[in-house]
Amino acid sequence: MRRSAEFLRQAALDAGFTVAEVWETAGHPAVFAERIEDPLLPTVLVYGHHDVQPVDPVEEWEKAPFEALERDGLLLGRGTADDKGHLVMHLEALRGFLQARGRLPINLKLIAEGEEEDGSEHFQALLVEHRDRLQADVGVISDTGMPAENVPALTVALRGLAYWELRIEAASTDLHSGVYGGTVLNPITVLAQMLAELHDGHGRVAVPGFYDDVQELSAAERREMAAIPFDEAGFAAEGGAVLGGEAGYSTMERRTVRPTMEICGIWGGYQGEGSKTVIPARAAAKLSSRLVPNQDADRVTSLVGAYLRQIAPPGVRVEFLTISTGRWVLTPSRHPAVGAAAEILAEVWGEETRFIREGGSIPPVVAIAEELGVPCVLLGVGLPGDHIHAPNERVVLAQLFRGMQAVGRLWERYGELGKAGLSGPPETGVPAPPT
């Protein structure tokens, strides 16, 4: 992480930022860069992150995860899409703009954090500490995607996240399955039974109260969502996955406006070659829920924890730990900064820009919007097939190149709008379709 931060700091200076600094946090370092042209011009704060997900299972990569592989218009490597690729998009847009015009029509700031994949634990504190230097008129968050290469889109909603670890202990030591088999509670069996009770037979989360605060879409909103081009079969085929989920909702709804309960990891007992005839003392799982308006992560955590403790067999020790939480986001879709971005994407891609909801979570968006009080534009060029968080993560280079063009044009437009034109108060609530 330190090498990554130093690299990015230097790359920012090389691209045309006049100041670039590594900012320490209580965790991994962030990188800040800025180029102030004139205090009277509007200031844009770009957000991205330079940390990435773990690379395991490393044996499934076509090439070493940190050695880029270019083929067929793709660039493969950890972070090419999520999110180093987006940082490169901004650096190259700046370099190109300066080469063509010599100066920017705006003031540009960049904050690249180093803990987004870990739940942005220290990002809020970083914003508070450096509030003055991060002041801006608009935030541009580049860590999202589009439904397809020919469907330019701006994200106007992100799901929140609660990530937990569930630990089951049923014995103080591993036990021999011959001596104890059949006579004591097996923590893996207990864990499996508890996890099986997280969903009902219709794919709905079975935790009482889980859906209480979920905002249902109106019939009109459901129609609008259904009209967004979405290659459902391709979406599943891309991951070799089997479609499934909550009965009564489309795949697009399931991935954007419905909350989820996923098991992200599980372990216990013997995992090696051959056999070990053991009943382990402990088993555990990583659980996560994607949250939607108006769910509250703390309330959901309480509900899930209470449910798990309630369904655990008596005598078994249950630990339920919160690892991280992040709020869902609805951006002010009618704000002029968002409108300008929508127009520019339409120009560059040659298609109408869609306002979409994303299934993922970007907790720092909440922090930037609330702590700095700026409207946020979620401008990203990822695609559903980018394999982010997985082996062989890739970015479609054409998307990256169009993104660089769009960023340059957007700075131009923001310069034309000026501070006054970008000062509309952020609208809250459910975003409406473009007017």
Are the CB atoms for 277 and 178 separated by under 8 Å? yes
Q: Cα(316)–Cα(420) distance, rounded to whole angstroms?
A: 62
Nearer to a second copy, 9 or 50 (CB): 50
Residues 5-44 contacting a second copy, CB under 8 A: none
- Would residue 116 show up in a list of annotated catalytic residues for this protein? yes
Nearer to a second copy, 255 or 402 (CB): 255
Nearer to a second copy, 6 or 232 (CB): 232
Shortest distance (Å) from residue 237 CB to a second copy: 9
Shortest distance (Å) from residue 312 CB to a second copy: 11
Is 285 a binding residue for a second copy by CB under 8 A? The answer is: yes
Are the CB atoms for 251 and 283 separated by under 8 Å? no
Residues 82-141 contacting a second copy, CB under 8 A: 117-119
Write out 357-374 in H/E/C secondary structure: EECCCCHHHHHHHHHHCC
Q: Judged by CB under 8 A, which stretch of 87-95, 133-141, 215-223, 274-282 contacts a second copy?
A: 274-282
Are the CB atoms for 73 and 397 separated by under 8 Å? yes
- Considering only 215, 324, 405, 423, the residue that binds a second copy (CB under 8 A) is 324
- Considering only 92, 95, 213, 245, the residue that binds a second copy (CB under 8 A) is 245
Nearer to a second copy, 63 or 101 (CB): 63
Is 279 a binding residue for a second copy by CB under 8 A? The answer is: yes
For residue 235, give both structure tokens. Answer: 């979406």
Residues 189-208 contacting a second copy, CB under 8 A: 189, 191-193, 195-199
Nearer to a second copy, 117 or 351 (CB): 117
Task: Decide: residue 197, CB within 10 A, 0-12 exposed, 13-18 middle, 19+ buried.
Answer: middle
Site string for a second copy, 352-391 (x = CB under 8 A): ------xxxx----------------------x--xxxxx
Residues 49-68 contacting a second copy, CB under 8 A: 53-54, 57, 60
Q: Cα(12)–Cα(290) distance, rounded to whole angstroms?
A: 33
Is 188 a binding residue for a second copy by CB under 8 A? The answer is: yes
Task: Give the pairing of strands 138-141 and 376-378.
Answer: parallel
Q: Cα(152)–Cα(346) distance, rounded to whole angstroms?
A: 7
Shortest distance (Å) from residue 161 CB to a second copy: 7
Is 283 a binding residue for a second copy by CB under 8 A? The answer is: yes
Catalytic residue among 83, 115, 116, 393: 116
**87: enclosing H helix or E strand:** helix 84-101
Shortest distance (Å) from residue 316 CB to a second copy: 6
Nearer to a second copy, 37 or 117 (CB): 117
Site string for a second copy, 250-269 (x = CB under 8 A): -x--xx--xxx-xxxxxxxx
Backbone angles phi, psi at 316, to 5 degrees: -85, 135
Residues 155-184 contacting a second copy, CB under 8 A: 159, 161, 163, 170-184
Is 239 a binding residue for a second copy by CB under 8 A? The answer is: yes
Shortest distance (Å) from residue 141 CB to a second copy: 14
Nearer to a second copy, 336 or 359 (CB): 359
Residue 199: DSSP 8-state = B
- Would residue 238 show up in a list of annotated catalytic residues for this protein? no
Is 396 a binding residue for a second copy by CB under 8 A? The answer is: no
Is 323 a binding residue for a second copy by CB under 8 A? The answer is: yes
Q: Cα(155)–Cα(114) distance, rounded to whole angstroms?
A: 22
Q: Cβ neighbours of residue 217 under 8 Å, at least 6 residues apart?
A: 225, 253, 257
Q: Of 381, 372, 377, nearest to 337 (Cα)?
A: 377
Count of beta carbons in the 10 Å neighbourhood of residue 276: 13
Compute CA distances 398 → 3, 21, 82, 225, 401, whole Å.
28, 30, 16, 26, 5
Backbone angles phi, psi at 193, to 5 degrees: -65, -40
Which active-site residues does the annotation give? 51, 116
